[in-house]
Amino acid sequence: MDAAAAPANTSALRLDVALALLRQAGQAEPAGDAGSPAYLQALIDQLVDLSSRDALTGLANRRNFELALAREVDRVARSGESALLLMVDIDHFKRVNDTHGHGAGDLVIRAVGQALTDSVRPMDLVARIGGEEYAVLLPNCPAAFGPQVAARVRQRVARSSVALPDGQQLAVTCSVGGAFAPQWVRSTPGIWLQRADLQLYRAKAEGRDRVCLEHTAAPDVSVQEREMLLGSHAIQDSE
């Protein structure tokens, strides 16, 4: 038998914690002989999936989102396609927890995650990246569609009322900030995130339940991005 395909000695593998995690997440143990390569690969795949998802909403988690954002920055720099990043934050969420309890807060977080997923294409990535903060990454989103897409996301959340166990219906709104990745420029995920975050901050400061997008379709290139594109000498030369 091929050594690589030989079953591992499962008693030496300590699979119990991995299997308990799967059970806790409501997933079945992989089929097949425990210790066989197919079984172990399926187990690894399930654990990878678990470690990429947010436990409360099932959305992509921050780790998964950061990987996707870095990939998208590279893709945009190579292809020149435009991609939009939206940061979404539930408005006055603390009040929900304070007034209705954390259980209600969790229901709202789930409902907003679902509304976001329903408002974008399957190819877009919706992630929960903090308590009541989400990111939506929209590859191949032409600049002219940005305002429309962001408005749809905000409206979809505002339309969804959340049913609480005591029968109350809770209205929720969110603020949305967005920025396009600079095309043809090797930027960094951090700079892109910062730009979108700045717009989210504006949306909150201007009254919430609104969208703020970075103004220019081809956003200004930061000093750091210009350095990456042209080298620091070119920056000094042009100043």
Ligand X SMILES: Nc1nc2c(ncn2[C@@H]2O[C@H](COP(=O)(O)OP(=O)(O)OP(=O)(O)O)[C@@H](O)[C@H]2O)c(=O)[nH]1
Residues that bind ligand X (CB under 6 A): 56, 89-94, 97, 102, 105-106, 109, 131-132, 204, 208
AA identity, residue 101: G
Q: Which is nearer to ligand X, 105 or 146 (CB)?
A: 105
Q: Which is nearer to ligand X, 139 or 178 (CB)?
A: 178
57, 83, 143, 204, 224 from 178: Cα distances, Å: 22, 10, 11, 13, 20
Strands 169-171 and 174-180: unpaired
Q: Which is nearer to ligand X, 39 or 134 (CB)?
A: 134
CA 68 – CA 62 distance, rounded (Å) = 10
**Is residue 136 helix, strand or coil?**
strand
Q: Which is nearer to ligand X, 197 or 227 (CB)?
A: 197
Cβ 40 to ligand X shortest distance, Å: 33
Cβ 56 to ligand X shortest distance, Å: 6
CA 34 – CA 32 distance, rounded (Å) = 6
Q: What's the length of the chain?
A: 239
Q: Which is nearer to ligand X, 65 or 93 (CB)?
A: 93
Q: Which is nearer to ligand X, 124 or 132 (CB)?
A: 132
Cβ 130 to ligand X shortest distance, Å: 7
Alpha helices in the chain (DSSP H): 16-24, 37-52, 62-79, 93-100, 102-119, 146-159, 189-205, 223-230, 232-238
Cβ 55 to ligand X shortest distance, Å: 9
Cβ 150 to ligand X shortest distance, Å: 17
AA identity, residue 65: F
141, 167, 199, 200, 239 from 196: Cα distances, Å: 15, 36, 5, 6, 27
Q: Which is nearer to ligand X, 54 or 225 (CB)?
A: 54
Query: What would the 3-class secondary structure string for 42-90 be?
Result: HHHHHHHHHHHECCCCCCECHHHHHHHHHHHHHHHHHHCCCCEEEEEEE
Cβ 198 to ligand X shortest distance, Å: 15
53 pairs with which residues across the strands?
60
Cβ 74 to ligand X shortest distance, Å: 31
